[in-house]
Amino acid sequence: MEISEFQRLIEEIYFEKDQARGVDGTFRWFVEEVGELARGLRAGEREALAEEFADTLAWLSTLASISGVELSHAARKYAGGCPKCAQRPCACDG
C-alpha cells in the first residue's frame, strides 16, 4: 500500500471524528500512541510492535490530514538523502 492510499483509507475511516476533535485533541491521541509504541519497544514485545507501529502511523496520518498535509509530499524531504548533507547513509556528525 502506498502512503497516499493509507492516508486516504484512514481519512475514510476516521476523518470526520478526528476533524471534529481538532488538531490539539488528535495530537494528544497521537502522543499517547507514541507512548504505547515506546513501551513496546522498551519491553521488546515483538508481537505487539507491528500493531503499535500501525496505530502510530494511523494517528500521524489523520493528524496530517486534518492539518492539510499530504504525507507523500512531506516524505519528499528525504528523497535526495539526508536533508542536511544529501548523503545516503547520512554523513553528518552525530
Instruction: Determine the average pLDDT of the residues in 23-50.
Output: 94
Question: For 69-79, how does the pLDDT look when each residue is reduced to its tens digit (9 = 90+)?
Answer: 999 999 999 99
CA 13 – CA 10 distance, rounded (Å): 5
Q: Sketch the domain layout of the chain as residue ranges.
A: 3-78
Q: Under the phi-then-psi rule, with left for phi > 0, alpha for psi from -120 to 50, and beta for the rest, what region is 86?
A: left
CA 18 – CA 27 distance, rounded (Å): 10
Decide: 52 and 61 in contact? Cβ < 8 Å: no
- Percent of the chain past pLDDT 90, that is, above it, reads 94
CATH 1.10.287.1080 for domain 3-78: yes
Entry pTM:
0.90
Decide: 58 and 10 in contact? Cβ < 8 Å: yes
